[in-house]
Amino acid sequence: MSGKVIRNYFKSLKFRLLSLFLILGILSGIAVRIGVLTAYEKRVINNRSIEVLSQSKILATQIVSMDYIHNLSSETITSQLQQLSQIYDGRVMLIDDTFRIVEDTYDLDENRTIISEEVVRCLRGEETSRYDKENHYIEMTIPLTRKNLDTSESLVIGALLVSVSTDSIVANLDDMRQRALVIQLISGMCLFALGMFLSMRLTNPLKKMADSIEEIQMGKDANDGKLMVTDCYETARISDRFNRLFGRMKLLDDSRQEFVSNVSHELKTPLTSMKVLADSLNGQEDVPVELYREFMVDIGNEIERENKIINDLLSLVRMDKSAADLNITSVSINELLDLILKRLKPIAEKKHVDLVLESFRPVTAEVDEVKLTLAISNLVENAIKYNREGGWVHVSLNADYQYFYLKVEDSGIGIPEDSLDHIYERFYRVDKSHSREIGGTGLGLAITRSSILMHRGAIKVFSTEGEGTLFTVRIPLNYIS
């Protein structure tokens, strides 16, 4: 359990934010520390070099003017050379133009020859300065030049080699380095605390969101069952989208529940009738055969009705499936209409309704024959069912280069205006008892509409109560998947 908590923590946004904060903080701290210390070191070394160089140059001028290099008798210069070497904790050597060390403040190498790159360059008149970081000293050479009064040319008569220790500077820098490290450690700890706080603050809206969703899931209606995390723009947006999605799901769930209760009710009605009929027969003694027959006919009708409801429900379920379940073939719509009307002719004749088909042109389209037949049959059957005695039904077919158009018009009872929006709903009937009398289930138009939409088509209805109804259907000739 605790292992899971730890694993979750490492995977969390909080941990990532904290790590990012720490990495950025520590890296920038290190960069600043190293940058500042390096710049400081450079500056201090530079200052020391300039200082020593200027002192040495003054001394060099004096050495040249007193010709000290050839005559070491000047006490002042000797003591000045000693002073320079003491002040800067270094060594000063005076070299003549034959690379011989004339004077060494360490008294170690006098009269020896010194040939180094710096000395050679210096005796050529070049001034050199070099910082040996590893061995902690600065070495510089200053040429001793005299002007030839006749030719006014500069003549190098020797070199002053000064090397000063940078031990004190290095010690200073080490001390600073240690202090900076301590400061960085302390600031690292502060950074950690701040990072913890900030990462918690930043991820708090997400935590709030997860908690609220959990509450909604458990049915606690804190905010009227809505997600309301408006701490920042992003969470407000997610809350809004979540509420919309949740609302749609609730609506779907409500409609599913309503559908289930409607289905149960519709299926129960014929069963109840059959039970009443059977009970009344069973409850009587010496029932005449005629009454038995009559009741059995009624029971038979109820069974037929139950069967029709179940068949319609199955059709509807098939229509609810995805468009991939369509069995598309090239079908002659003229022939399809002929067949449908032929099948429905007996019902129309029974009601003395005149059924007419008008085809303006031959039409072949890519459709699912079974599903489209069901859709058109329902429309024509309704036009006959909800008609008056001796009325008419006109079915017409036309097409352009893109769609075919079907019209089913009748001279029937019409549909009230306030019902027009509902007729495609499952189990909706304008007049429940009338529809039931003529064998309606309230599913026909729902099936029709689903089928047409699956074909990427459209259906419209126009109706005037007492005068008649017109359904128009438009379906693409070529199936668009």
* Cβ-proximal residues to 375 (8 Å cutoff; 6+ apart), any chain: 447, 448, 451, 452, 473
Selected from 383, 397, 399, 406, the binder of ligand ADP by CB under 6 A is 383
The region of 25-33, 59-67, 423-431, 473-481 touching ligand ADP under the rule CB under 6 A is 423-431
Shortest Cβ 413–ligand ADP spacing (Å): 5
Q: How far is 181 from 179, CA to CA, in rounded Å?
A: 5
Toward ligand ADP, which CB reaches closer, 104 or 410? 410
Backbone conformation region of residue 136, classed left if phi is above 0, alpha if psi is from -120 to 50, else beta: left
Q: Which residue from 451, 457, 473, 445 is spatially nearest to 327, judged by alpha carbons?
A: 451
The distance of closest approach from Cβ of residue 422 to ligand ADP in the complex, given in angstroms and rounded to an integer, is: 8
- By CB under 6 A, residue 315 contacts ligand ADP: no
Q: Cα–Cα–Cα angle for 219, 221, 226, nearest 5°?
A: 105
Q: Select from 66-74, 130-138, 162-170, 444-452 the region that touches ligand ADP (CB under 6 A).
A: 444-452
What residue has token string 């002659």? 332
**Residue 395 in contact with ligand ADP, rule: CB under 6 A:** no
- Tell me whether residue 229 or residue 383 sits nearer to ligand ADP (CB atom): 383
Q: Does 435 bind ligand ADP (CB under 6 A)?
A: yes
Q: Which is nearer to ligand ADP, 395 or 443 (CB)?
A: 443
Shortest spacing between CB 368 and ligand ADP, in angstroms: 20
Q: How far apart are alpha carbons 411 and 392 in whole angstroms?
A: 6
Q: What track of x and - describes contact with ligand ADP for positions 327 through 366 (by CB under 6 A)? A: ----------------------------------------
Q: Of 348, 268, 278, 267, which is closest to residue 312 (Cα–Cα)?
A: 267
Among 442, 452, 454, 479, binds ligand ADP (CB under 6 A): 442
By CB under 6 A, which span of 13-21, 33-41, 62-70, 381-389 interacts with ligand ADP? Answer: 381-389
| In the complex, least distance from residue 475 CB atom to ligand ADP, rounded to whole angstroms | 19
**92, 348, 375, 430: residue in contact with ligand ADP (rule CB under 6 A):** 430
Residue 457 C-beta: closest distance to ligand ADP, Å: 17
Helix (H) or strand (E) holding 130: strand 128-132
Q: Which of 56, 235, 377, 469 binds ligand ADP (CB under 6 A)?
A: 469
- Closest distance to ligand ADP from the beta carbon of 414 (Å): 6
Instruction: Please say whether the beta carbons of 386 and 412 come within 8 A.
Output: yes
Helix H or strand E encompassing 82: helix 75-87
What is 210-273 written as a DSSP string? Answer: HHHHHHHHTT--TTTT-----SSHHHHHHHHHHHHHHHHHHHHHHHHHHHHHHHHHHHHHHHHH
| 386 counts as binding ligand ADP under rule CB under 6 A | yes
Site string for ligand ADP, 22-41 (x = CB under 6 A): --------------------
- Residue 10 has which token pair? 């490492």
Is the CB of residue 358 less than 8 Å from the CB of residue 341? no
Residues 6+ apart with CB under 8 A from 22: 188, 191, 192, 195
**Residue choice 143, 270, 444, 457 for contact with ligand ADP (CB under 6 A):** 444
Measured from the CB atom, the residue of 103 and 410 that comes closer to ligand ADP is: 410
67's tokens: 């010709």
The CB-of-326 to ligand ADP minimum distance in angstroms stands at 22
Which of 15, 40, 192, 428 is the binder for ligand ADP (CB under 6 A)?
428
In 288-391 the beta strands, taken as DSSP E runs, fall at 328-332, 354-359, 364-368
- By CB under 6 A, the count of residues binding ligand ADP is 23
- Four-residue CA torsion sign, 305, 306, 307, 313: positive
* Smallest separation, CB 315 to ligand ADP (Å): 12
Question: What residues from 396 to 415 belong to the interface with ligand ADP (CB under 6 A)?
Answer: 410, 412-415
The least CB distance from residue 444 to ligand ADP, in Å, is 3
Nearer to ligand ADP (CB atom), residue 15 or residue 428: 428
Tallying the residues shown for the chain, one arrives at 481
CA distance 83 to 77: 10
The span from the CA of 130 to the CA of 393, in Å, is: 113
Site for ligand ADP in 153-172 (CB under 6 A): none
Ramachandran sector of residue 144 (left: φ over 0; alpha: ψ -120 to 50; beta: rest):
beta
Choose one: 82-90, 153-161, 208-216, 421-429; the region binding ligand ADP (CB under 6 A): 421-429
Footprint of ligand ADP (CB under 6 A): 378, 382-383, 386, 410, 412-415, 423, 428-431, 435, 440-446, 469
